[in-house]
Structure 1
């Protein structure tokens, strides 16, 4: 069997000091994560980031920068994830948006509120990405070169 990493996307969306996060069920536990998920066949990273955010939070977003490419090994399932994390601007909330199965709903939390809920984080990637964002890490979107 050949080892294959999982390509995922995530978004950091900040508005007035609050970050758009997702409360969801994962492995039978209620957890907090960034809007995030897997790339689908034929989808660009930017398309996936917008789709996943809408499906998990009900918000339309516009990616403005790449925060970074993160590698995370999940001890819970033995999977290695390659996460393309974007910085996105909230455009608008979609009324009555249908959220993915397992999603409880969106949360807007400050970094301090998130720290108080650290045991609920899906992984260490949640605060790691927010902290990189707060440090000012940014890369232009054209850093990612995709062919049609």
Structure 2
């Protein structure tokens, strides 16, 4: 069996009231909460994947601002290792109410509200990345070199 890494993107988006853009979605028969996130498609530039996933899952036009970090997570449910390229971004405007299959709704929640979701948070990386963001962790987008851009 050939091991294939799963490359994903996620984006931490905070509004002017200190709330974060969170997606309520169905995953493996459960309702869970996550940042706008998903797999990078073949031949897709990483920053384009951030914009696409945010739009598909929330209806918001998101502009990536900084690279937050690369997070590794092995999901206990399926044993798959995910490499999560996490970014910060700004919500420019809501452009559609239509959301991707499996997405229930997009919410603006405080970090306290997200913590109260407990085991309904899709992975520990959701809270970890918000905490890293609040600590001021950020890198310029040009640390990402992408032959697609």
Are residues 1:128 and 2:134 paired? no
Are residues 1:24 and 2:28 paired? no
Q: Please report how far the alpha carbon of residue 75 of structure 1 lies from its aligned counterpart in structure 2 after TM superposition.
A: 1.1
Where in structure 1 do 4 or more consecutive aligned residues deviate above 6 Å? none
Secondary structure at 1:129's aligned position in 2? helix
Equivalent in the alignment of 1:45: 46
Q: Give the TM-score taking structure 2 as reference length.
A: 0.96
Secondary structure at 1:72's aligned position in 2? strand
Structure 1: gaps spanning 5 or more residues: none
Are residues 1:65 and 2:82 paired? no
Aligned-residue RMSD, C-alpha: 0.8
Q: Please report how far the alpha carbon of residue 115 of structure 1 lies from its aligned counterpart in structure 2 after TM superposition.
A: 1.1
Q: Please report how far the alpha carbon of residue 119 of structure 1 lies from its aligned counterpart in structure 2 after TM superposition.
A: 2.0
Q: Please report how far the alpha carbon of residue 95 of structure 1 lies from its aligned counterpart in structure 2 after TM superposition.
A: 3.4
Cα distance between partner residues in 1 of 2:83 and 2:51: 17
Secondary structure at 1:132's aligned position in 2? helix
Are residues 1:36 and 2:28 paired? no
Cα distance between partner residues in 1 of 2:118 and 2:143: 32
Equivalent in the alignment of 2:145: 145
1:74-93 aligned at under 5 Å gives the runs 74-93=75-94
Equivalent in the alignment of 2:55: 54
Structure 2: gaps spanning 5 or more residues: none
Give the total of aligned pairs.
Answer: 147
